[in-house]
Amino acid sequence: MPRPITDFGVLTLDCYGTLIDWETGIWDALQPLIAANGRLDVTRSLALQAFGRLEAAQEAATPGMAYPEVLRRVHRDLATGFAMESDDPIDEAFGASIALWPAFADTADALRSLQRRYRLVVLSNVDRDGFAASNRKLGVVFDSVFTAEEIGSYKPDPANFRHLL
């Protein structure tokens, strides 16, 4: 039988997709590439599916790579995959876009409510600077934050979850 959530004192959260709307952030950050290439046929759904595949492959191939560089390389690979032209400034802007990704509308209120009862811990596939930029939108100070940068690997690597223990 599952234990009630009130039995726990610590909640571990992912950040991107849980607290931060990474899909909107990625889609918005892809707009300069799409516009520069006049590719109105590249839909949000297609772009996000391709991003997910390419990001997972890049993270698996380079587990110690900083997340902005992962984003930069994935952006270039997305451009290639959709037969679009990119350049270093557009790739670099995409790599730095995490600071612009929005929080979900209910995130800050939900976190403040949860923090009254639980210690809150974040385990995320980003770097410290990227999380710090996102955290400014979240309205709380987390009890602990663990990033892929400090762990040296990306989820779903079991090392990330062992690090929590």
Tell me: the pLDDT tens digits for 5-55?
889 999 999 999 999 999 999 999 999 999 999 999 999 999 999 999 999
- The Cα 159–Cα 115 span in angstroms is 26
pLDDT tens profile 105-116: 999 999 999 999
- Percentage of residues in the chain with pLDDT exceeding 70? 100
Could you give the 3-state DSSP secondary structure of residue 103?
strand
Burial of 28 (0-12, 13-18, 19+ CB in 10 A): middle
Supply 30's token pair: 């892809």
Domains annotated on the chain, with CATH:
5-19+103-164 (3.40.50.1000), 22-100 (1.10.150.750)
Q: Which of 7, 14, 91, 109 is catalytic?
A: 14
Please confirm, yes or no, whether 14 is among the known catalytic residues: yes
Name the region of 38 (left: φ>0; alpha: ψ -120 to 50; beta: rest): left
pLDDT confidence of 2, banded at 50, 70, 90? Answer: confident
Residue 154 has pLDDT above 90, yes or no: no
> Which of 123, 60, 77, 70 has its CA nearest to residue 96?
70
User: Residue 116 carries which DSSP code?
Assistant: T
pLDDT at 114: 96
Question: Residue 5: its pLDDT value, please?
Answer: 85
